Amino acid sequence: MKTIHETPIPVLVGAGQVTQREEDPLKALSPMDLTAAAARKAANDSGAGEKIFPILDSVVQIRSFSDTSWRFRCPFGEYVNPPKSLANRLGAVNAKRLIYPQPGGNTPQWCVNRLFEMISRGEIGAALISGGEALSTQKAAQRAGTQLDWSEDSGGTFEEWGSARQGWSEMEERHRLMSAISAYPMVENAIRGHKGRTIEEHIACMGRLFEGFARVAASNQLADRPAGYSAEEIATVNEKNPFIGFPYTKLMNANVFIDQSAALVLMSTTRAKELGIPKDKWVYLHGCGDANDHWYLSERINYHSSPAMRAVAGVTTKMAGMTMNEIDFFDIYSCFPSAVQIACAEMEIDEEDPRGLTVTGGLPYFGGPGNNYVTHSIAEMMNRVRAKPGTYGLVTANGWYLTKQSAGIYSTAIPEQPFTPVDPVTYQSKIDGNKGPEIVEHAEGKAVIETYTVLHDRKGPSYSILFGRLNDDRRFIANTPPDKDLLQEMESTDFLGRSGHVSTKDGINTFMPN
């Protein structure tokens, strides 16, 4: 068995972050220029500056939200080859591997894990991970009727890492379950039922949970929402803080309409020495893991747990040779309260842990720049462990709808073993083998609600989505009739376990409660 001194040792050496607050869309940086700015900050952070770019073997550009979701499609053109456009701006002329991964909030951590393996095998020597979003500028330009030109064809081709499979099934799409703002509230109500709370009790608990995140954002100069909201402000429904998808208020949702970018520089210690990068800049990845739960929500065992997160937490801490009690800092992926609650439950971390659950302020308050948030959390974790050498920080990452899970433990301490993560195939098969209930696509008969949500538009409650069980325990997805009184009752009265009748017409299941 090779020792750590006989194999290439991967390290993170640079981190950069940018939050843009320019109100004039014509003066604001484009998404690609914003991303390049973060990459330059990361290079400067290492101490090597622009010397880093010509020695990069690989450039990873995290997929933009405009290339991910129909909700955020950009009307101002597209970058045909995003990693090439980024490399051109930076003078990364020797980067032969240009990578544009498939979407998912897990992607930055997953890419760090993969690139560390490639460095440890000697396949590459140095890489950049970078991403950026300018949805605030995009939205402002659309509202003002301002035309922007964000089109660029830099030529060439790129690699696409990861699965191109979308996060929802055709059956789920027919019932309008095809966005994070509809999926996560379904999970949240199931968590409420599992914990035995009333609607009022649970909304108050979510406010207290996210108050801690808002407090951290208040002291982060890069945070987009630094107001330091109280638990009551987060939980109270009003004109400025309406329900988006019941039971989530606006302040419980990831804040995606922001301009933010972040970048990380990775390389072997040999390259770092050649560039004269000081050792106090080096950050090691001590443990990591990647797994996914059953791909579609309708396939899950239940809606209050994540076997994938439990497996990832186990292999990550085991690889690092430590327990959760020995972690000094956490950044738990926080797109919605349900993601935090399930991660804490699976990792056996108290939701009120005095160490705190975020180093950035989280996606609702720091900002939720699409697939790239975790690049920010890793960058900030690097700052934390560098400031206190020998401490350890855990970052978790989550893609699609609590589907893809990833984690990493970071420290300036030198690992005692070579970087050799467990092959995810060895634990993914166990997750895959634990099946959920049988799904019936066209449901008819007496049934009960398993979990549900009510989606809002600017006028109030708009439509509902639910998962239910027939008398034979088969699961189905359905909508209720779009009756305003019924939708409002579903928010004021607990409909978990409510009995009724489901029928199907033209591929759509409709549940009528008793």
Query: What pLDDT, in 10s, does the model give residues 401-426?
Result: 999 999 999 999 999 999 999 999 99
| 1 pLDDT more than 70 | no
DSSP run (H or E) holding 115? helix 107-120
Q: Looking at residues 367-394, what average pLDDT do you find?
A: 98
What's the topology of domain 4-164+255-433?
Answer: Peroxisomal Thiolase; Chain A, domain 1 (3.40.47)
| 5 pLDDT more than 70 | no
**Strand 475-478 versus strand 460-470 pairing type:** antiparallel
State the DSSP code for 449.
E
Report the percent of the chain where pLDDT is more than 70. 99
Query: What pLDDT, in 10s, does the model give residues 463-473?
Result: 999 999 999 99
Q: Looking at residues 113-127, what average pLDDT do you find?
A: 97
| 364 pLDDT more than 50 | yes
| 4 pLDDT more than 70 | no
Query: What pLDDT, in 10s, does the model give residues 190-228?
Result: 999 999 999 999 999 999 999 999 999 999 999 999 999
Q: How far apart are CA 14 and CA 382, in angstroms?
A: 9
DSSP run (H or E) holding 447? strand 445-457
Per-residue pLDDT at 7: 82
**Which among 242, 208, 212, 214 has a CA at the least distance from the CA of 228?**
214
3-class state of residue 410 by DSSP: strand
Q: How far apart are CA 110 and CA 97, in angstroms?
A: 17
Per-residue pLDDT at 2: 52
Phi-psi region of 77 (alpha: psi -120 to 50; beta: other; left: phi over 0): left
Distances (CA, A) of 161 to 98, 228, 378: 10, 37, 20
Q: Looking at residues 4-23, what average pLDDT do you find?
A: 90
Per-residue pLDDT at 343: 98
Split at pLDDT 50, 70, 90, the class of 445 is very high
| Low-confidence winner among 67-71, 265-269, 282-286, 300-304 (lowest mean pLDDT) | 67-71
| Cis peptide, bond prior to residue 247, ω within 30 of zero | yes
Per-residue pLDDT at 9: 95
| 427 pLDDT more than 60 | yes
Q: Looking at residues 237-241, what average pLDDT do you find?
A: 96
What's the topology of domain 445-513?
Answer: OB fold (Dihydrolipoamide Acetyltransferase, E2P) (2.40.50)
Query: What pLDDT, in 10s, does the model give residues 28-75?
Result: 999 999 999 999 999 999 999 999 999 999 999 999 999 998 889 999
What residue spans define the domains of the chain? 4-164+255-433, 445-513
